[in-house]
Amino acid sequence: MRHLRSLRSTALALVALAFISAAALAAMTVHNLTGTWDFEVATENGVGTPVLRFQQAGDKLTGTYESRMFGVRALTGTVKGDSLTFALAASGESTVVLTFSGKILDADRVEGTVDFGGMGGATFNGTRKK
């Protein structure tokens, strides 16, 4: 009987360890967003279609944001798990910073929200160019 209890305890511990390991592995999934992306940014005034070029090193994200409205702007941000954030200045002399916060849906798709420096916001979705 004692042997059966010990065996049952060991089995339960192994099952728990398997679940914990699976959860830890999922949390450690590393996405690499390096590449060129087509974005759609939907505001109350319409939809913009910027092109983003990401370079990723570890969890650091750098690159450029290019649109008709803002021209080419440098961006910096981070990738952590399935989340990404990055920011860029709206114009050279402006103190307005656009902050993008989103979710990585898979290797080629992202979505989220944009904060226009406290002066409104938008939603975005992006697709990696093939």
Q: What does the domain layout of the chain look like in residue ranges?
A: 1-30, 35-128
The domain defined by 35-128 folds into: Lipocalin (2.40.128)
Confidence (pLDDT) at 118: 87
pLDDT band at 15; cut points 50, 70, 90: very low
pLDDT digits (tens, 9 = 90+) for 82-93: 999 999 987 666
Would the pTM of this model clear 0.85, i.e. be above it? no
Sign of CA pseudo-dihedral 68, 54, 109, 85 = negative
Cα(121)–Cα(66) distance, integer angstroms:
18
Instruction: Give how far the C-alpha of residue 40 lies from the chain's centroid of Cα atoms, to the nearest Å.
Output: 15
End-to-end CA distance of the chain: 62
